[in-house]
Chains A and B, each alone.
Chain A
Amino acid sequence: MLKNFKGFLGPIGDDLPSLIPIIFGLTIFFASFTFSLNKFNEVNSLIDEKLEILKVSRGLRLNGYVSSHENFQELCESIQGTSIKFKAGLVDFSSLRKDSAQSVIRSRDFSFIQNEDKTNRFICLKEGLLEEEEIPDTARISNLVYPIALERNSVVVPVHLVVVAWK
């Protein structure tokens, strides 16, 4: 009898060594599960943002031709239901030096084109956003640039549509 009880730690005590890999395994599982869940959420939110900015730019480009400032404003009003904040407008890249065009995109220091009588600019903002509102440093920003044909005094000039979006 004594021989049989040698090293016996009780019903739980005997299973104690098996608890170590079980706890270790569960920790690994829940850690990787939480990590994956966070990653999925992050990627989903990034993709949603990209799709939203594509939606904004598609609405503003429509057929790649802007016939007047009024036409641009109509396009601008049609894209107001988006969840991201955005600042978009027409920029004349040809007025910039070739090597400075890229740095302008990076710095987002755009000077948007004015209409014929210089009373308005070709700029479209998310509803409630002010033109002078700075983009927060912590914001995740996306830029998109597209060529667009702008009609002015019956002359068609190639310019670029710049869309800057952030969340």
Chain B
Amino acid sequence: MEVKAQAAVTDALFLLMIITGLSIFLFSFTSTYGTDIDASITRQYSIDYVTDSLKTILYSSTLRESENDLTLASASEPEEIDYLLAVIKEDIAESNEDETDKLSGSTKTILKKNIEKIMLPIADQFDYLFFIAEQTTAGPRFIYFLIYKSEFSCFTVQGAEIDCEEEARNVLIQRNESKSHNFYLCNSNADYEITSRDISSFLFNLGDAFQSSAPLLLIKTISDSSNELKTETGTASLIIWPATLIKKENLDLLQCSVFEDIVIEETEE
């Protein structure tokens, strides 16, 4: 009798052990249940957003005689209006083959303003880049390369501000209060043309990025003397990623400078 009673307690303890194991499994399964689907829904939203943004950028109209924004109000006014893509193609067609800067300063500004307006609702959480490239035998040549980047300030635990480029430990990173974001125009060095490999290296450091691309047909005049035209293919791409700290060396990889500095300089020239 005594032995039987002890065996019953051991059986019960085994049962308790099995139930505890089962409960732990249930809890761990429950805590992660749905996270994959949730992540893929969020991912799908980002992909949809970037696809729609690119479509809207390429469909948009613009004012011909001004760098001002085309708004709903100005759309009804009698001004010369054209598709933004037509203006871009026109600039490319009128440029020389060996010219590195194929878009005019005003086209660059209009395009930047248009992109900024379209990306406004997610501008706090995401950074992005937009480029137009023409396909050459040597690979893609980047005609326009714009980056929108969040600016951060770095602090030590004691509260002293340090350079974010420093590889220090226990650093607090927060949004730069004076200038939270900047636009950069890349591929701005006449001596060095960036390549797809540079872009891949840049994107490698960003984590999750969502991309959308659209093919373009670019018409070019073969020479100034003849009216002969040739058609080349190109690409317009938009890539977004959750705002993150991008080091200067990564920006240098793409030969980037602050947008305003370059465009104002060009206008003055």
User: Nearest 6 CB-CB pairs, A to B?
Assistant: A43-B34, A18-B12, A18-B8, A149-B59, A25-B19, A32-B23
Asked if B143 lies at the interface with its beta carbon under 8 angstroms from chain A, I say: no
In whole angstroms, what is the CA distance A36 to B83 when docked?
A: 55
Residue of A nearest to B14 (CB): A21
Q: Is the CB of B72 within 8 A of A159?
A: yes
CA distance A104 to B122 in the complex (A): 13
Q: Which residues of B contact A145 (CB under 8 A)?
A: 49, 121-122
A39 interface residue per 8 A CB criterion:
yes
Verify B49–A147 contact, CB threshold 8 A: yes
Nearest chain B residue, comparing its CB with the CB of A161: B52
B113 CB, min distance to chain A CBs, angstroms = 9
B107: interface (CB < 8 Å): no
A-B contact list, 9 entries, CB within 8 Å: A21-B13, A36-B27, A36-B30, A64-B52, A93-B121, A152-B75, A155-B81, A158-B114, A158-B117
Residue of B nearest to A16 (CB): B5
In the complex, which residues 133-167 of chain A have their Cβ closer than 8 Å to any Cβ of chain B?
144-150, 152-153, 155-160
Question: Min CB distance, A143 to chain B, in Å?
Answer: 10
Q: Are A157 and B33 in contact (CB under 8 A)?
A: no
Label chain B's interface by main secondary structure: helix
Is B118 located at the chain interface by the 8 A CB criterion?
A: yes
Q: Which among A14, A18, A29 is the interface contact of B23 at CB below 8 angstroms?
A: A29
CB atoms of B33 and A54 under 8 A apart: no
A156-B52 contact in complex given A22-B15, A32-B27, A105-B121, C-beta closer than 8 Å: no
B8 touches A15 (CB 8 A): yes
**A98 nearest CB neighbor, chain B only:** B120
Residues of A within 8 A of B120 (CB): 93-94, 98, 101, 160
Instruction: Assess whether B230 is interfacial by the CB under 8 Å rule.
Output: no
Indicate if A2 sits at the interface (CB-CB under 8 A).
no
- List residues of chain B with CB within 8 A of the CB of A148: 52, 56
In angstroms, Cα B28 to Cα A36, docked, is: 10
Q: How many A-B residue pairs have CB under 8 A?
A: 156
B37 within 8 A of A: yes
Tell me if A147 and B76 are in contact (CB < 8 A).
no
B16 touches A21 (CB 8 A): yes
> Are the C-beta atoms of B41 and A149 separated by less than 8 Å?
no
B89 CB–A CB distance under 8 Å: no
What is the predominant secondary structure among interface residues of chain A facing chain B? helix
Give the residues in chain A near B18, CB-CB below 8 Å.
Answer: 25
A38 to chain B, nearest CB (A): 9
Q: Is B20 an interface position by the 8 A CB rule?
A: yes
Asked if A82 is an interface residue, CB under 8 A from chain B, the answer is no
6 extra interface residue pairs, beta carbon distance < 8 Å, beyond A94-B120, A158-B114: A17-B8, A39-B33, A47-B41, A64-B51, A149-B59, A160-B120
Q: How far is it, in angstroms, between the C-alpha of A156 and the C-alpha of B20 when the chains are bound?
A: 63
Report how far A146 CA is from B53 CA in the complex, Å: 8
Do the beta carbons of A155 and B75 come within 8 Å of each other? yes
Q: CA separation between A47 and B4, bound complex, in Å?
A: 52
Which A108-153 residues sit within 8 Å CB-CB of chain B?
A: 113, 116, 144-150, 152-153
In chain A, residues 56-86, which have Cβ atoms closer than 8 Å to a Cβ of chain B?
Answer: 57-58, 61, 63-65
Q: Are A47 and B38 in contact (CB under 8 A)?
A: yes
A43 and B71 within 8 A (CB): no
Contact B71 A94 (CB under 8 A): yes
A26 with B121: in contact, given A152-B76, A157-B72 (CB under 8 Å)? no
Is B72 a contact of A36 with CB atoms below 8 Å?
no
> Does B2 make an interface contact (CB < 8 A)?
yes
The answer to whether A156 and B30 touch across the interface, beta carbons within 8 angstroms, is: no
Q: Are A40 and B33 neighbours in the complex by a CB distance under 8 Å?
A: yes
Q: Looking at the complex, which one of A4, A92, A102 makes contact with B72 (CB distance below 8 Å)? A: A92
Tell me the bound Cα distance from A25 to B11 in angstroms.
Answer: 12
B23 touches A28 (CB 8 A): yes
Q: Shortest distance in angstroms between A78's beta carbon and chain B's nearest beta carbon? A: 18
